[in-house]
C-alpha cells in the first residue's frame, strides 16, 4: 500500500514556506530517495505528476516532490498561480536554495520518515527548467548520487530578452508572460535578470555538467516543441559519460497534460519512468 502524504508544510525562518509531498511504501526499510523538481510555470500537482510519484513508490523508492517557494502557488492554494507577486520575485538561486532546504530536511536525523528513506542514495530529477536546477545542485552538493533531466534546458542565458527588450524590462522593472492555460499575465521582475548576472558562473549549466562526478541521465522527446533536442545533445556532449535517451515522437511533457484525469500514465511518460528507474537501479 503506497503512502501518499501530500501538502506538508516546511516552515522556514524569514523565507517563504515550502509545500512538499512524500510517496512511499511504508515497511520500515530504507529506500533510495528521489527528489523531483518541476519546471517553469509548473507545480508539484501538475498533470500526471502524482501518477509518476506512485510509479516510483511502487518500484521501491521514497519519492519527494515539492513546489518551489516562489512558483506562484500558496500553502492554501498549491495548484495554479494565485500569488503572482511571488512568481515575479522568483529566480534561479531561490530555486537552488529551496532544493537545498529540501535535501537538508530529508537528511536530518529528526526527519519523521527517516526509517523509510535511504539518504545515502539521493537522486534528483528535474523537468524542463528544473533540469538545469538539478544539474547545478548535483554538481555542488556531494550528497547527490545520480542526476536526471527530463526535457531539460542546457542554458539559462539565452532565455532572457536582449537589446531593446532588455532595456525596456530594466526601465519598467516588469515583463509579463501570458500563461496559455490559465490566461494570466505572469510577471517577471527585473531582479530575475540581475540575480542571474550576479550568479552567472554558478548558474552556467555547461560548467556544472562538465564538472559532474556522478551518473547522469538525459531524457528528451524527439517532438519537444518547447526545449529543442539540441539542449539534450549539448548536455551529453559536455558530459560524454552521461546516458542520453530519446523518447520517439514525445512532446515536452511526454504525452501528459493538465488536468490529467485518467488513471494510467501516458505511454511516453511511462517509458520515461521505466528508463529512469532502470538507470537509477543500475547506477
Q: Is 171 exposed, middle or buried (0-12, 13-18, 19+ CB in 10 A)?
A: exposed
In a domain, 241, yes or no: yes
In a domain, 239, yes or no: yes
Provide the residue range defining the domain that includes 227.
2-156+200-282
Which residues lie below 8 Å from residue 274, measured CB to CB, with a gap of 6+?
A: none
Q: For the chain, what is the domain count?
A: 1
Cis peptide before 167 (omega within 30 of 0): no
b/e map 61-99, b = 16+ CB within 10 Å: bbbbbbbbbbbbbbeeebebbebeebbbbbbbebbbbbb
C-beta of residue 2 within 8 angstroms of C-beta of residue 25: yes
Distance CA 279, CA 226 (A): 25
In a domain, 162, yes or no: no
In a domain, 149, yes or no: yes
Looking up residue 245, the CATH number of its domain turns out to be: 3.40.50.1820
In a domain, 235, yes or no: yes
In a domain, 231, yes or no: yes
- On average, the pLDDT of the chain sits at 98
pTM of the model: 0.99
Per-residue pLDDT of the chain (283 residues; tens, 9 = 90+): 999 999 999 999 999 999 999 999 999 999 999 999 999 999 999 999 999 999 999 999 999 999 999 999 999 999 999 999 999 999 999 999 999 999 999 999 999 999 999 999 999 999 999 999 999 999 999 999 999 999 999 999 999 999 999 999 999 999 999 999 999 999 999 999 999 999 999 999 999 999 999 999 999 999 999 999 999 999 999 999 999 999 999 999 999 999 999 999 999 999 999 999 999 999 9
Amino acid at each position: 500500500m503506497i503512502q501518499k502524504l501530500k501538502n506538508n508544510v516546511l516552515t522556514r525562518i524569514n523565507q517563504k514556506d515550502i509545500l512538499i509531498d512524500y510517496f512511499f511504501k511504508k515497511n520500515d526499510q530504507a529506500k533510495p530517495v528521489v527528489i523531483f523538481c518541476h519546471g517553469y510555470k509548473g507545480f508539484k500537482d501538475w498533470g500526471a505528476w502524482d501518477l509518476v510519484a506512485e510509479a516510483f513508490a511502487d518500484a521501491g523508492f521514497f519519492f519527494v516532490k515539492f513546489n518551489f517557494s516562489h512558483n506562484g502557488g500558496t500553502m492554501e492554494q498549491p495548484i495554479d498561480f494565485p500569488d503572482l507577486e511571488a512568481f515575479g520575485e522568483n529566480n534561479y538561486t531561490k530555486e537552488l536554495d529551496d532544493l537545498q532546504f529540501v535535501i537538508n530536511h530529508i537528511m536530518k536525523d529528526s526527519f519523521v520518515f527517516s526509517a523509510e528513506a535511504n539518504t545515502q542514495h539521493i537522486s534528483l530529477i528535474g523537468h524542463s527548467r528544473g533540469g538545469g536546477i538539478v544539474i547545478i545542485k548535483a554538481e555542488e552538493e556531494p550528497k547527490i548520487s545520480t542526476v536526471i533531466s527530463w526535457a531539460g534546458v542546457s542554458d539559462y542565458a539565452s532565455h532572457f530578452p536582449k537589446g531593446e527588450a532588455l532595456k525596456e524590462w530594466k526601465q519598467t522593472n516588469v515583463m509579463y508572460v501570458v500563461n496559455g492555460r490559465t490566461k494570466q499575465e505572469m510577471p517577471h521582475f527585473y531582479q530575475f535578470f540581475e540575480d542571474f548576472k550576479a550568479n552567472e558562473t554558478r548558474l552556467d549549466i555547461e560548467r556544472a555538467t562538465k564538472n559532474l562526478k556522478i551518473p547522469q541521465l538525459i531524457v528528451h522527446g524527439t517532438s519537444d516543441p518547447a526545449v529543442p533536442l539540441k539542449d539534450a545533445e549539448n548536455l551529453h556532449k559536455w558530459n560524454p559519460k552521461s546516458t542520453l535517451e530519446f523518447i520517439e515522437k514525445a512532446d515536452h511533457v511526454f504525452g501528459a497534460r493538465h488536468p490529467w484525469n485518467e488513471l494510467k500514465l501516458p505511454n511516453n511518460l511511462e517509458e520515461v519512468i521505466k528508463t529512469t528507474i532502470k538507470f537509477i537501479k543500475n547506477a
